[in-house]
Structure 1
């Protein structure tokens, strides 16, 4: 990890210009006679917004950017998880799937998904593409591929479609995280990521109801099964939203068309002022190398991998709920409430994490609740107790996602290129979990799914342990910065944990 800024005359002048712009637009009460009053901020130097112009800017970003990225992520997961509902409508029988072939169709998506994330985020951080155009085109592509699932006739066809769906869906989530990190500070980003992630949660909650309505009304129409109609309808809606993305998505703080020149300067400068150990950009490949040389990347990647491993129930949630003994209609209806509750819990956790600029205890408490619920779920066959556990482990496990990913951008964001690379690497390592966890839920292990639930509990415990390890690591780094052992203390900004 680089410990000193690399001086580049042009970049230095540019940063000075943006720093002066931040001073110009900020409320004078934010400063004292000598320097920015970051020293009066919290333990990490983060300062709450007080400048009316900055507050207005953040409100504009929230109203313009958040609805479209939420809708895009909602459909990202609806399209991806439709296969879980299609399974209940005879997908396996119609395509002749047997043994672990369905599990392979689940996991193959993440092979394509993992291959594209790092190069995609590197391309976005290079400035060679407009984020609004690039992400919208990717969304239109996955809409077409997802709709093509309705045309598959056998196992081979389904595997191919799922692989290419992973490739076309891969750019969105790490790209959306990178966009949020360009516009929101450390105290703001956890809430925004939790709102974004609620699109995933609501999609999982609603996908069962959407599928139920489709199966009940269209099954057999024009010679197509209900699961085929499901993929066609969702593909058409997704393509329509992709067109809206062209108008509503931002690009870079300095190039977003729907921001005024003053707002662009302020949007860029306030992120510079909130970055620990900010450095001048040195290119896309240099950013990737810096990320890979920072050992904290691997701890954060392991933490997120363990978190998503604990969330492996996602692709099998209708199957898990089905183990309670109800018919397919009631099963699809019962998948909704636990996810709606977890979406609300996730936003609350995002608010409190941002307000207190705290991460470790939020991860410990919420994931700790999930661990307990996983243990109870495989220890009892009581229907009410097991359904209650579905509420607890969905809420507890999902809530930590925004906290961890916000931690990545806050800790490894010394340059935009390093931040983009770090977010994509963490997502690649984390999503690799879906390749192997798909095999933790064989039909023969129901209804307890003892292997899966006990594994989820272990994954959750490892997430908590990783959070505390990183906390102690960052505390030690902050002590070095304050002693002057690292050349980063002059701006009064320290690592948050």
Structure 2
């Protein structure tokens, strides 16, 4: 594709990064709107939009058109990830949500494995079919597949528990869903009174928002290799077909250990060190497998900041938006003139791993501090209640020498 469109490395990297410019712009306003409106309509519409632009991409003939299409796809895809986490945390309790987010994240990683297998089939067997280049068929088929999913989604995605209506669940099930969420949040209801942006300003005042944004930002730098994974695998020196096929196992490995943050990110760090220091094929392939183990930190965010919904929506979108900024510059770390070591990209990955670990530990310490404060307040409230109870008991036992039995009974 890069060769057909006559794109230089900087132009190609610009196309990769412009996706994340559009992606960053739309996330916060879209997720705040979705929190107050109908995700049942907005999410499938977003998917339809990015699918249509993807199908149009084979028609581009110049670098600027490729860059513009990438920007548009990012703009309409931006709301998706924050909205998925918002919806998951709105229907499932804090104990159920992490598993559901892990399943969703697993779908992401498995799709990377399937993309390698699809590439092996399409790019090897469809070159010139209908006088269309194989890479164009790849985009057309992926775009058409996602259109089918988007259309079906209009019937299978609910709104929120308090606004879904009887088309998806009964009134009793809606009440139960709301009750479950209230119990999970410590008795707090999903109160979203106020305007669309009230929750955003609440999120900006909460230190958790900025700590999680730091985790996101560092994590994306640590995983910046993903946009260039096929190019990195190609440096192993295998044929095109073998290169496509061996892209599949590393993301599948990620499915097995994507439940925590620090463990996988340290494996990524080790993989980056190996990648930039040796040309041994076995060692480099192992190194390429190690970084693929992402992490699911979004369910952590929605658990520690459960209410109100607009604040939760703004926090997730803000953290994801900040992380997208790293995509503006990380594509320039993996240029062909640095093959096969990619020292700049490997160095950035190592730095991102270190920063992620630091931010995770800082957030964990802040969580512990908040929990200790919460327990202290609960203990104080309990002691005051017990003290008041003792006073009432002593009053009820005190004999009344001036009034009859009716007055004493009334006081008790």
Pairs within 5 Å for 1:92-491: 92-127=2-37, 130-256=38-164, 257-275=167-185, 278=188, 280-283=191-194, 284-346=196-258, 349=259, 362-395=260-293, 398=294, 400=295, 402=296, 404-484=297-377
Q: Secondary structure at the match of 1:484?
A: helix
Pairs within 5 Å for 1:33-52: none
Contact 1:276/1:488 (CA < 8 Å) preserved in 2? Answer: no
How far is 1:366 from its partner?
A: 2.3
Deviates more, 1:177-186 or 1:198-207: 198-207
1:486–1:235 distance in 2 versus 1, CA, 3 Å: farther
| CA–CA separation in structure 2 for the residues paired with 1:334 and 1:124 | 39
Contact 1:481/1:489 (CA < 8 Å) preserved in 2? Answer: no
Could you list the per-position Cα deviations for residues 322-377 of structure 1 after superposition, in whole angstroms to 9, with x for gaps in the alignment?
A: 1111122211111100111112322xx2xxxxxxxxxxxx4222222221222122
When the two structures are superposed, what TM-score results if normalisation uses the length of structure 2? 0.88
CA RMSD, Structure 1 to Structure 2 (Å): 1.9
| CA–CA separation in structure 1 for the residues paired with 2:171 and 2:27 | 31
Task: List 4+ stretches of structure 1 deviating above 4 A.
Answer: 485-490
Contact 2:19/2:72 (CA < 8 Å) preserved in 1? Answer: yes
Structure-2 residue corresponding to 1:23: none
| CA–CA separation in structure 2 for the residues paired with 1:267 and 1:458 | 42
| CA–CA separation in structure 1 for the residues paired with 2:210 and 2:285 | 35
Q: Secondary structure at the match of 2:264?
A: helix
| CA–CA separation in structure 2 for the residues paired with 1:489 and 1:315 | 54
| CA–CA separation in structure 1 for the residues paired with 2:286 and 2:15 | 30
Structure 2: unaligned runs, 5 residues or longer: 384-412
How far is 1:147 from its partner?
A: 0.4
| CA–CA separation in structure 1 for the residues paired with 2:44 and 2:211 | 32
Matched residue count: 379
Contact 1:481/1:488 (CA < 8 Å) preserved in 2? Answer: no
The structure with the largest alpha-carbon Rg is: 2
